[in-house]
Each structure stands twice: as C-alpha cells, then as structure tokens.
Structure 1
C-alpha cells in the first residue's frame, strides 16, 4: 500500500471522523478499519487504484448521509455504515476543524486534510517506516516486583505502554510445560505466565488502536533438551499462549524472514491492516512452523549487552560475524542497562547500578543514554531503532529516556511521565528465606 493511500485513509477516517468527539456526544467514534475488532462502525468498502496519488481529495465531495465519500479519483470510493444520520462530525481541512451536520453535503477546494491522529504517540510517525523510528525498550519488562533483586522495572506492562514504551523484552522459562516470565530462576522472581502477560498486552492494544508494539522474547531454556534430545523450548511453544491470550490477530507476518530496513511497512500501513505487533525471539526460532515469530538476529543486531563500561560502545556484539555493510541494512538495538560489579567472598556479581540512573537514563554526559544515541547515530548513519533501558521512569528528569528517543526521531516530546495513568506494580515481598542463598548464587547471571 502506498504512503499516499495511508495519508488518504488517515486524513479521511482519522481526521474526518474520529477527532473532537467527547464522551457525551451521540456520535460513534470511527477509527481505522481492522485495527480494533470491537468497533461498532466500520468501513464497508474501500477501492483504491494502484496508481492513486491522493491529490484529488481536496476537490472531492462528501455526502454525510450514508456515509459515502468520493475523492474525484476514478474507482476510489469509501462507504461507511452509520447508526445515525444526524450526528455531528468534524472534518479537518488544512488542519482547521470544520463542524458539519450529519445530513449535510460539502464541497471543498481547501488544502488536503492534515493528519493529527498520533501513531505511536506522534502524527509524524504514521507515514514513517517501522524501521525509521527510535523507540524505548523496557529491559525485562515483566520484572517489576518491588524489593526483589531480579527486578528491572518499577511499573507493570500496562503502565509501561501508557508511558510510551513500544518494545517489550523479557526472559521466559518452562515450568512443567507452561511458559513463565522468570528472572534466572522462578524461585527468585516469577512474574507469572507468558499467557497472562500477553493478555495484558492484548487488552492494551484493544484500547489503543493506533499503536504498534514490538515484543522480543528471550528464550532462557534454549539449551535444554527433551527426552529425545530435541530442544525443549522453540518458537512453537509460544503459539499456545499467543492464541489463548488473544494476541494472534494483531501479529504482523513479514513477507520474508530476514527483513532489511527498506522492506518494513509504515506504521500507518500496519495500523490500517490491524497487524500491530512485531514479534522476535532470540534463540530456537522455527520460522517454517511459526513464520510470524522472527529470529532476532536475522533482522536485528545489538550493541554490547549488560555492560559495566559507562562508555557504552556502539559496536556489534550479537550476532557474530556480520559485516558493517550488512549491519547498516538491519534494525539495531542499543543496550543501555548499566551494571555494577561487586564481590562477595569468591563471587563476582553484576547487579543494576541504580545509583547512576539519573545519568545513565539522562540526556547528556559520560554514560548517558543521550550520548550513546548520538554516538551510534554518528557511527552508523542513523539512530538506533531501540534503546534498551532499566527503570525507564528514572533519569535526569521524568521521561528523559523518551526525550532522548524524541530527539533521535526529530519530534517534540511533551507527554506526561511516568506511571501516572495506571497503578505501579504491587509491592511484594522478596524471596522467602530458603532462597536467600540462591539470590546470591545466581545474581552474577541476572543480566546475562
């Protein structure tokens, strides 16, 4: 689908029908076709010629009793079912709201409508490719348990998404045939089943139909074998929780297993299609059996992970052996979760350096997220696609990690942060006494 088609659909369906309607109005809010399965009004016909450029919309006509639209381009029509012919609609023409009665007809020679509907929080993103946007990634997103050494975040996934997180990463474990999000050991931190976590994401997507979310699954059990010597957990094991959680209809299946930056669709195209989740797995992929769960390292590379080096180099860490030329054609993630090394007896441990979060997640200075983002942009000719951070709510000011991403995207960050739209994760007690020794024994591998 062409970008101009996206602009038409956004300018018409988003700007024309979904803006400025408050909760007291009898007008049903109309949104993108296919992006929310709970809609009561939907587009019933859309026919767009392959050579359509969208330039005729401003001189077309709009009949509100129907509702039908003609753009003036041949074979280009859109009709929409409506429960009322008297509802007031707001049409944006050149960015200026114009209120029309639901039974009126209007002919306009004004400029093309401006899209004011944000996609992933910014109207500018609607026509950008998925591969041309920098998003903040919540490292170990499910692990938001207070006073637990295995935690990496302060708020649960719903709050994370409300605040602007658009990539969710986490480590999964097989527990008697059921996948859980656990950190190193489920005795240390068990954040619940993968199915329940995916259900929370699904519920959020249903309530936020203009958002695209990336999920990166960390398969902790990738080296384990079953009784027949086969891998215990592969991407096939995730199909059941995906289906039961309701997430499946939202997952985008790319046309090929190894996507390059030019291959990705725009956010607008993903939203219009309803396929608004991009899913990766780090190990034991099976794209023949599960083609929608992409192998991370066919599509993305990472800078050094779990660093203690405050310089945060922008060099390629995983996967091994790819050339710079190949890397420039792939998505890439800047890992920016600073750890501190401590010694307890003969053990050398890596734990999150929470003391430095105001700098680590800040805009400027040695070790800052802003500095790494700028350095990677200089080194690779484009900003990172994902900025992986711990405790995204901490930084030089509220929302500083999102300010870094906004600067990389050349947009203005003006949202409220953090955790204000939903409750923080419940305060739970730490591991029980029998497992205190385990906490020390496994702490060195928490972030590996």
Structure 2
C-alpha cells in the first residue's frame, strides 16, 4: 500500500512534455491506515527540488514507515494527472509492482477554486470574465466594473479583458477615448495582476488585450501597434515569468493542458490579443480569433443569441473545436452629435447577470450548451458584483461546470454599493457625462 501511495505521489508532479533524464525528489506526507485506506492528498503535501521537464516510467525508493521518499527519473511514459491513475512500474531492477489496488487519493487542493478542476483541461472549464476589467470609475460613462482587479480576482474572476490605446508611445487602458476614461498604463495594471498571481500559486488566469488602435499606421503604412508593443509592459511588470507559451499558435480543445499541469509548471497565465498579433516576435501572445470565437460583441439585444460574432466565416465544426466566449454585457446605444457610444445598461443588471429567466446569463449559457453540446469557456459580464443575489454570475459558471458554488461574493459592502441598485437616474447621469466629453 505504501508503494502505491508513493507512486501516486509521483503522479502528482509528472509532466507530459519532451523526454528528460532529470531526477526529482518528492516527499509524501499522507498517512495510511488499513489495507483499503484511501489517502487524502493535497498539492501542498509534496515538495520537489526540481519539477521534471519530461515524464517517467520508473521509481526507486526507500520505505521507512508511513512517510516515503521517491526519486523519480523522467522518461517517456505520459502521466498527466495531478493525482490518481494506475500504472505498472519497475522498482529496483527487475522487480515489478502492480498499482492496480482500488485505493485512490483524493485531491483536496483547489485549482481555480475547485479541486475538481485540477485534472480538467483548460479548455474544459467555464470561467467568468470581467469585461473592461480596469474601467472602475464611479459615475463615469466609460466604467464597466465597480471593483478593482485585485478584488475581481479574489472574488473568482479568472479572465481579464480591457480596451487599450496607444498614447505618445505608451499603452493605456482607456475606454473609447482617454479623455472619457483613462485607467492608467497597461504596465501598472499588469503589475497589480502579477502581485496577485504570485500570491496565488494554484490559480490560472487568462488575459485578453483589446488592441483598440490596431488601425493606426506608421510612416511606412505598417501597423503602428502590434503585440510587440506589449512586451515591455509585460516584462517590466514581472508577468512574463508566469505566462504559458503554447506549443502551437492554433490550439484546439484537445491541445490545451490541464489546469494542474499549468499550475505545476508555474506557467499560469494565458495571454491573447484581438488584433495585430505577431506570434513570430511574441509567441506567447496568441491571436484570439485563431484560438477562440465569440458571440456577438457589445450586444444591445437582450435575447443574447449564442451565435457566431467574431471572427466571421467559421464553420460549425471549427466552432466546436475551439474555445469560445459568451458576450453577455448588455449595452445602451447613445447617439450624440453624429457620434455613437455604447454604455452599459446598468438598469437591467439584476436580469442580465441572473441565473434564470429571459435575458439572463444562465439562460444564455443553457442556450449555448444546447447549440454546441458544451458551455462557453468564458462568460463576459459587466459589473460582475451586481445581480439578483451576490455571486449570481459565479453560480451560473458553477452550474455550467457541474460543481457547487459555495464561495463568498463580492468585495466589501462599501465598495460593492456603487452599482448595487442601478437606476434610471444613474443612466441619465452617465449620458450627461458623455455629452460633456463629446462637446470638448
């Protein structure tokens, strides 16, 4: 039984990558009692001097009591689960030990808040996305969230998206115009994200960079702002060390690793850019629309059809092979002096961010499941902290993931009241702000 526990400990850090001969030493601190005992393990039960770059087919060990130490030599047998699985392995020469016992460890360490996610592929999890995550400004027409990015991540947001503009050689998070809402530099925002990522080693997050100035040209007619412009803020913020570089520029559902594999590798941030990608220069920043599709963007239709929005022209089979995002942020179209601006429809948030009913996030998710036999990977919402009850958007995601939502949401009482009761008066105020900006 001890042999089985040690072998399962080895499974906890195996990586399905290229062959290697590196050796890693793990310590199993699980206690076993009884012939059929099922050990309960967490990722924190294992310490490793070096994670293997390959996978393994054999172990050598000493068996000094209930705590064992295993030296693992990586070879070529793919083992990709954090915990679990059965194998036959060679121990100390020609002796063969079968690990077909029914005892099986239970992982207690959550990955993205749920232990069940550790062995799921990145492409088989539904997460809530904060639309225009940086735009947190009370009574501003360009705002899309009420709580800052650290609180967003604390509450369970695992995808961050935002519109970026290039001003005097620097990238800023600005909504429509930096005169309307300037949330600061991309570097400063990413520095805050990096601080959170460093403090949460069992979480995987996704960032979509909205390259709003993709049509700008330099003196030679070439795109002025591409993914190359994002390298400096990414590196200066410290985020680069956590970014996962996929083996392909076009990843299908089957190509993505599990959350556990990403976590154990330390590469726990996935980055996309919507326009002007350059994967030759910046291979870790994928083109969004080569790897993911979206339902209609900036919707004003409260029915929220789960149909293809961007990119155009994908076949149904192609849609079913890629990640996809449900855009569920209801907008109001405001026309002023010939200009048109979309602003969040805050009046309807209790419906839009709801679990049930026409126009709700839950209803759209169910429609998507019926159409594509799987839920969206990302649910993009405004003011995620608002809804018919605290955490309603996370309840929708939990149901899509077939897990139980039991977390506390959202933020603090004082900071969450900014839009907890959106009103017609508020909508009138933000329209007035728009008028003032457009008249400048």
Structure-1-length-normalised TM-score:
0.76
Counterpart residue number, 2:80 = none
> Are residues 1:285 and 2:277 paired?
yes
Following the alignment from structure 1 to structure 2, what is the Cα–Cα distance between the partners of residues 231 and 221? 9
Q: Note the 1:32-431 alignment, pairs <5 A.
A: 43-44=49-50, 50-51=56-57, 61=63, 69-70=69-70, 75=73, 111-342=103-334, 349-420=341-412
1:8 and 2:12 correspond: yes
Q: Deviations over 1:15-45 (max 9, x none)?
A: 948xxxxxxxxxxx98599xxxxxxx75247
Q: Alignment partner of 1:185: what SS?
A: coil
Q: Displacement of 1:138 after TM fit?
A: 0.3
Change (3 A) 1:261 1:62: farther
Q: Give the SS at the match of 1:111.
A: coil
Which consecutive residues of structure 1, in runs of 5 or more, have no partner in the other structure? 18-28, 34-40, 77-91, 94-108, 443-448
Question: What displacement does 1:344 show?
Answer: 5.6
Q: Deviations over 1:22-74 (max 9, x none)?
A: xxxxxxx98599xxxxxxx752475985447x9x99xx84669xx96239xx8
Is the 8 Å Cα contact of residues 26 and 48 (structure 2) preserved in structure 1?
no
Change in CA separation of 1:326 and 1:441 when aligned onto 2, cut-off 3 Å:
farther
Shift of 1:121: 0.3
CA contact (8 A) 2:134 2:148 kept: yes
Offset of residue 112 of structure 1: 3.2
- Name the CA distance, whole Å, in 2 between partners of 1:13 and 1:196: 38
Shift of 1:161: 0.2
Give the CA deviation at 1:335.
0.3
Give the aligned CA root-mean-square deviation in angstroms.
3.6
SS at match of 1:168: strand
Instruction: Report the Cα offset of residue 113 of structure 1.
Output: 2.7
For 2:4, the equivalent position in structure 1 comes to none
Shift, 1:226, TM fit: 1.5
Query: Could you state the TM-score of these two structures normalised by the residue count of structure 2?
Result: 0.77
Is 1:439 aligned with 2:437? yes
Q: Which runs of no fewer than 5 residues in structure 2 stay unpaired?
A: 1-7, 15-24, 31-41, 75-82, 85-100, 420-428
Cα shift readout 1:160-219 (whole Å, capped 9, x = no counterpart): 000000000001111100101000111111101000111111000111000000000000
Counterpart contact for 1:159–1:424, Cα < 8 Å: no
Q: Provide the C-alpha distance between the structure 2 equivalents of 1:47 and 1:347, rounded to a whole number of angstroms.
A: 54
